[in-house]
Structure 1
Amino acid sequence: MIGFLCLLATLGIYAVSKRVYAKRRKVYLSPLLVTPIVVIFILIWAKIPYETYNDGGKWLSSLLQPATVAFAVPLYKNFKVLKKHATEIIVSVLAGSCIAMISSAFLAKWLHLSSSLVTSMIPRSVTTPIAMNVSQVIGGVPNITAVFVIITGLLGSIIGPMVLRMFKIENDVARGILFGTSSHGTGTSKAFELSSLSGTISSISMILAALFTLGVAPLIMNVLIH
């Protein structure tokens, strides 16, 4: 019963924050930032264990699969554009994925983190299920990787718009690649706010980044860590 109430509370908080964000487009009011903070505060205040919360929250996680499949609709609508820019997308995502993993490794080593934390941090820029699998393969801690992934997604959705304004990036393809490669599903959600094409390119970039990370992460780990 408590788990179900937690589910309703999460949905309610998200709905309210989304309405507020629609009226006042401020980064700090983003539902993706407000909802987890409020939920965490409530769980701590009410002393509700995560396991109890997840009895209801797990249904939201289950909905990620059909939600991901729904990305096929904008992909189909923008297929001609995707085909036209296929080379630029592939090269850009590959470069961005490699830079994300290498910079993560160097940052973690610069902070003198343990080897397990270093390897846990490397796949932080891809969607959570893939990142956790990669982390397990290369000797990291999947649960810690999930935390890094969430932080990366939130920071990407906050900093991304600033980067677009700073460098005056107005091309929908470039915007989509930026968000999809750097901040996975959270960034893709932000990209869809800009335009359907940006969101579509972002979803493709997110998928490609996950595939590249699966193949490249073990190599980077062997070269930089050992």
Structure 2
Amino acid sequence: MNNFLTASAYAGVTISILFYLLGMYLKKKFKFGFLNPLLLAILFTMVLLLLSGVDYDTYNAGARYLSWLLTPATVCLAIPLYEQIQLLKDNYQAVIVGIVSGVFTSLVTVFVLALLFGLNHQEYVTLLPKSVTTAIGMGISEELGGYVTITVAAIVITGVLGNIFGEIILKIFHIKEPIAKGIALGSAAHAIGTAKAMELGEIEGAMSSLSIAVSGILTVVGASVFGMFI
């Protein structure tokens, strides 16, 4: 397996895609919320690497090409937002307040938990950008002196949990307004949450797409400020 991954430049990409497709199949077949395709793909890949004795660097040599698609995929989320631009104009005040509240809540939560668990500065700033896209979060973590690899893991876990439990939480609190649903998922669980928002409807997907971009910008500023607290 090690030789296979080393010899093929796209072996990591192939394995990742196949496991993701397997995750999609299992989710459609069993229809359980916790069977998130991304989560399953991560777990399957980890098991494969552990059983085969392949180190992460060897796997990532081929899998890194997937990350090149991250930025253009995020930009493409502007399309559903453009289609709902009039709705955004009519409700811009609520949208702004909702996104700002989401970002502030995320930063305050990390700050409070850091105090409770006695995290040092480096550990604290590592978790601050947990609710933004990987591309933005990595930059924030590196700039503030955090552990970038752990930041990526925190971002993925946050997104997966938001994707799995987001709809359930919205139902528990009887949140039925599409705009509110979209903003909540986008500002709390970035692109992975937006995938769930798009499953709920076009308006939810559009508002969630907007939340990703605005939340990213606000988190860059907010994390820089909160980073000085510990």
Please report the TM-score for the alignment, with normalisation by the length of structure 2. Answer: 0.91
Aligned counterpart, 2:111: 105
Aligned counterpart, 2:62: 56
Report the RMSD for the aligned CA atoms in angstroms: 1.5
Shift of 1:86: 1.4
- Give distance in 2, aligned partners of 1:195 and 1:176: 9
Aligned counterpart, 2:220: 214
Shift of 1:35: 0.9
AA aligned opposite 1:46: S
Structure 1: any 5+ residue segments left out of the alignment? none
AA aligned opposite 1:45: L
Shift of 1:137: 2.5
Contact 1:181 1:202 in 2 (8 A): yes
% identical equivalent positions: 32
- Give distance in 2, aligned partners of 1:172 and 1:67: 23
Contact 1:108 1:121 in 2 (8 A): no
Number of positions where the alignment pairs a residue of Structure 1 with one of Structure 2: 224
Aligned counterpart, 1:87: 93
Structure 2: any 5+ residue segments left out of the alignment? none
Mean Cα deviation higher: 49-58 or 197-206: 49-58
Aligned counterpart, 1:164: 170
Mean Cα deviation higher: 19-28 or 156-165: 19-28
Shift of 1:138: 2.4
Matched, 1:130 2:133: no
Shift of 1:204: 0.5
- Give distance in 2, aligned partners of 1:24 and 1:81: 36
Moved over 3 A (4+): none
Aligned counterpart, 1:13: 19
- Give distance in 2, aligned partners of 1:13 and 1:147: 18
Matched, 1:42 2:48: yes
Shift of 1:192: 0.9
Change (3 A) 1:146 1:80: same
Please report the TM-score for the alignment, with normalisation by the length of structure 1. Answer: 0.93
